[in-house]
Structure 1
Amino acid sequence: MIRKVKPQIRVVGFDDGAFSFSSKLKHEKTILIGVVMKGSLEVVGVLARWITVDGRDATEAMIDAVNSSRFKDLRVILLKGITYAGFNIVDLERLHRETNLPVVVVIRKRPDVLSMEDALRKHFQDAEERITLLRKAPSLVELIPEKLYFQAVGLDEKTAAEVIRVTTRTGFIPEPLRLAHMIASAVMTGESRRE
């Protein structure tokens, strides 16, 4: 339980690397990077796992990365959306339960869930299982009108908003997520991409 969000709160932010359309067809892997930080200023470590493009292993990879890491003082997991490596959907409740950490999902654009469900039904035999994960996710909370949304599991909305504020240095995205994006894209393409 987080009573007060301190400026140096230990968090990990996960993002995935780039992948091609052909990698979707071949069920290849892409990198999953977790950046561990104290607030928004000090990087204290980096976690890495490989996840399957359009697979079902993102949740397990995150759980393993957190639970087997040396970072035992983590307080919050930050995610950039709930879909990784295409439609590798994170089970937020399981991630929270098996790491014993609250999860805050940060989203820049309001997702079109109906279009996502249509795409899943069109391309995946296990579409209904994936759709169940999408629907289980908490409601979106608008933090900055039309610019930033979040979902929180294991944390009240006010505290989740404070975690986002404390871990954001510039722009809208928390620093651990911004850095995870840059590192993951550099691993996969040879050069980091802008957030």
Structure 2
Amino acid sequence: MPFYKIKPQIRVVGFDDGTFRFKGRGRTVLVGVVMKGSLDVVGILTRWIEVDGRDATEKMIDAVTSSRFGDLRVILLKGITYAGFNVVDVEALTSETGLPVLVVVRKRPDVAAMERALRKHFPDAEERIALLRKAPPLRELIPGKLYYQAVGLSDEEAREIIRVTRKSALVPEPLRLAHMIAGAVMTGESTRE
């Protein structure tokens, strides 16, 4: 039984990033789509984040806390790494916004491979690895197809939020739309989810 009743029109924001080039680093767009459940888009949030930088968490916090959307109930993330290895501190995101965070991914991340890549390419690898390791455990929702991590939500609440925010795709609609919009901003055309 969920801790609180999850309404079908729960206000959520889903974040994804745009495409980028590793060579020359640079920036990419971070897009947050604010929706009522899976039905109505009520707003879009954008920020620019550094490729392989350390600013994704603070940019998400700023986007949420400085927005006009004071009735948000949950932050949805499409993974915890953005713009390459710009790792989100999900605990800080929750504590600074006062909102639970629900990470939804379609593939089980290879954390060992991520750690090897970080150690090979980043002088601050151990700090980034610490963020990866402090993320909550990965849970399987649809075997081999959909996984989630939840901060500030029970498993039942997380599963219900995913259910009410999905429309026709595996991932919640705010994440699907954020992916398409971010891709269109960076390349001029959206890509398939």
TM-score range, shorter chain: over 0.9
SS at match of 1:180: helix
2:62 counterpart letter in structure 1: D
Maintained 8 Å contact 2:22/2:51: no
Structure 1 residue 179 displacement after superposition: 0.3
Q: How many residues align?
A: 192
Render the CA deviation track for 1:81-107: whole Å, top value 9, x for unaligned: 000000000000000000000000001
- TM-score for the superposition, normalised by structure 2: 0.98
Structure 1 residue 12 displacement after superposition: 0.1
1:122-133 equivalence runs, <5 A:
122-133=120-131
Structure 2 unaligned regions, length at least 5: none
Give me the whole-angstrom Cα distance separating, in 2, the residues matched to 1:21 and 1:36: 29
Maintained 8 Å contact 2:12/2:74: yes
Give me the whole-angstrom Cα distance separating, in 2, the residues matched to 1:184 and 1:5: 28
Tell me the equivalent position of 1:4: 5
Structure 1 residue 2 displacement after superposition: 6.0
Give me the whole-angstrom Cα distance separating, in 2, the residues matched to 1:133 and 1:167: 27
Structure 1 residue 21 displacement after superposition: 2.5
1:74-85 equivalence runs, <5 A:
74-85=72-83
Tell me the equivalent position of 2:30: 32
Structure 1 unaligned regions, length at least 5: none
Tell me the equivalent position of 1:92: 90
1:149-168 equivalence runs, <5 A:
149-168=147-166
SS at match of 1:134: helix
Give me the whole-angstrom Cα distance separating, in 1, the residues matched to 2:192 and 2:5: 32
SS at match of 1:160: helix
Give me the whole-angstrom Cα distance separating, in 1, the residues matched to 2:126 and 2:5: 39
Q: 1:49 aligns with which of 40, 43, 47?
A: 47
Q: 2:178 aligns with which of 168, 177, 180?
A: 180
Give me the whole-angstrom Cα distance separating, in 2, the residues matched to 1:2 and 1:180: 28
Structure 1 residue 167 displacement after superposition: 0.2
SS at match of 1:21: coil
Give me the whole-angstrom Cα distance separating, in 2, the residues matched to 1:126 and 1:168: 37
1:31 counterpart letter in structure 2: V
Tell me the equivalent position of 1:140: 138
Tell me the equivalent position of 2:19: 18
Render the CA deviation track for 1:20-47: whole Å, top value 9, x for unaligned: 122xxx3311000000000001000000
Structure 1 position 170 matched with structure 2 position 171:
no
SS at match of 1:86: coil
- RMSD between superposed Cα atoms in Å: 1.0
Structure 1 residue 17 displacement after superposition: 0.2
Give me the whole-angstrom Cα distance separating, in 2, the residues matched to 1:170 and 1:137: 28
